[in-house]
A and B are shown apart, each in its own frame.
Chain A
Amino acid sequence: DIQLTQSPSFLSASVGDRVTITCRASQGISSYLAWYQQKPGKAPKLLIYAASTLQSGVPSRFSGSGSGTEFTLTISSLQPEDFATYYCQQHNTYPITFGQGTRLEIK
């Protein structure tokens, strides 16, 4: 199975900050990586797929990059509604696997 490791696991930041979350895969997955946002008590929401393609309706302050084994999610200017937990997911092969999550909190 492909293991995904996110860093950091916890991030404290302020409104307006630029933040970056990293996801590393245990083997190459080309660009088959997605990012999800989950708020407390809610289902995950797809933000980005194929490493860098923004899902329809997602604000342009979110961006993704990377290929192979290293990927990043960047939020260019944090908004209050962005404080949530973020997960990466490889969509290269079954079993689908997720990173352990990065909790983004208000400083």
Chain B
Amino acid sequence: EVQLLESGGSLVQPGGSLRLSCAASGFTFSNYAMNWVRQAPGKGLEWVSVISDNSVYIYYADSVKGRFTISRDNSKTTLYLQMNSLRDEDTAIYYCARAAPDTRILDSWGQGTLVSVSS
């Protein structure tokens, strides 16, 4: 069974930093591209970033480019999101999501971790 477990969310002040983790199990992590998707309270889904299986390609949404960094450690089957220069509008539940092979279809999702940016 595919399992994705996010952690690292918390309350942080504007301008602060946070690192999210997503521990994967139940599948061969190194064979899949992984994504971060966020959802602000009461709002819709917003794609944040993707990293390919071997970290060769990485893309970001314009809203986070230059502030967030996605990475992965295939030996630890873990996905990361380093979030710097956080803003109020970054407040959201952050989900990690697996992409089906060679697609941008998000076929498995974690339960999410809440990031709150507030002074």
Q: Could you list which residues of chain A lie within 8 angstroms of chain B, going by C-beta atoms?
A: 32, 34, 36, 38, 42-46, 49-50, 55, 87, 89, 91-101
Contact = CB atoms under 8 A, between A and B. Distances in A.
Given A36-B106, A49-B103, A96-B37, 15 more contacts: A32-B104, A34-B105, A34-B106, A43-B111, A43-B112, A49-B105, A50-B105, A89-B106, A91-B103, A93-B104, A94-B59, A95-B62, A96-B35, A96-B50, A96-B104
Interface of B: 35, 37, 44-47, 50, 59, 61-62, 95, 100, 103-112
A96 B95 contact: no
4 nearest A-B residue pairs (beta carbon): A91-B104, A43-B109, A96-B47, A98-B45
Contacts of B62: 95
B91 to A, nearest CB: 17
15 contacts: A32-B104, A36-B45, A36-B106, A44-B45, A44-B95, A44-B109, A45-B109, A46-B105, A49-B103, A91-B105, A92-B104, A94-B59, A95-B62, A97-B47, A100-B44
B47 A95 contact: yes
Given A94-B59, A100-B44, A43 B110 contact: yes
A55 B107 contact: yes
Contacts, number: 59
B61 A98 contact: no
A72 B45 CA distance: 19
Q: Is the interface of A mostly helix, strand, loop or mixed?
A: loop
A37 to B, nearest CB: 11
A66 B35 CA distance: 26
